């Protein structure tokens, strides 16, 4: 009987530890470096570090105005939304298209992408798909084109 109780105690301890490592704000108080490393990771993402990441509209504007070589601006809204206004030079793949995943799979995963939708929901899902497909540099615009136009940044029709 002692072994099952010990096993149960170990499992409870492991589950408690695992839930504590979930990224709550208490992590910063557990170790002085824990919050610093998380902040550093957030800072590096906003500075344009390659990978699949969310960027502010200000960072997105900086990327669009000073684009890396081969930048693809990818709009994942519908054709009607795209016609209402989009970022200059953007290509569109409709997130709701039946073959959306296949169309993403046809893109070059080694070039940089600036990805957006209306509010960030569809582009967030697309970014996760792109990560799964091995894309190496995807900047997903936080708040989408709504945040972009909310700042008065330019669109073309």
Say whether 156 sits in a helix, a strand or coil: strand
Say whether 9 sits in a helix, a strand or coil: helix
* Whether residue 117 lies in the annotated active site: yes
Active-site annotation holder among 117, 129, 138, 145: 117
What is the Cα–Cα distance from 72 to 2, expressed in whole angstroms?
62
Structure token digits, residue 8: 């149960």
Give CA torsion, residues 90, 61, 144, 102, to 10 deg.
40
Per the DSSP assignment, residues forming a β-bridge with 42 are none
User: Degrees (nearest 5) of the Cα angle 107, 109, 102?
Assistant: 40
What is the Cα–Cα distance from 72 to 116, expressed in whole angstroms?
11
Q: Which residue has the tokens 């669109």?
A: 155
Of 101, 114, 84, 54, the closest CA to residue 93 belongs to: 101
Catalytic residues: 117
């Amino acid at each position: 009987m002692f072994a099952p109780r010990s096993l149960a105690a170990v499992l409870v301890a492991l589950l408690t530890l695992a839930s504590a490592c979930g990224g709550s704000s208490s992590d910063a108080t557990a170790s002085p470096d824990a919050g610093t490393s998380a902040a550093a990771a957030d800072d590096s993402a906003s500075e344009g570090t390659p990978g699949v990441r969310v960027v502010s509209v200000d960072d997105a504007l900086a990327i669009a105005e000073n684009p890396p070589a081969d930048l693809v601006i990818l709009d994942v809204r519908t054709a009607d939304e795209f016609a209402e206004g989009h970022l200059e030079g953007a290509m569109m793949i409709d997130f709701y298209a039946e073959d959306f995943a296949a169309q993403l799979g046809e893109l070059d995963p080694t070039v940089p992408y600036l990805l957006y939708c209306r509010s960030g929901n569809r582009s967030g899902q697309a970014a996760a798909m792109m990560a799964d497909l091995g894309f190496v540099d995807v900047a997903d615009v936080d708040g989408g084109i709504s945040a972009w136009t909310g700042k008065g940044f330019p669109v073309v029709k």
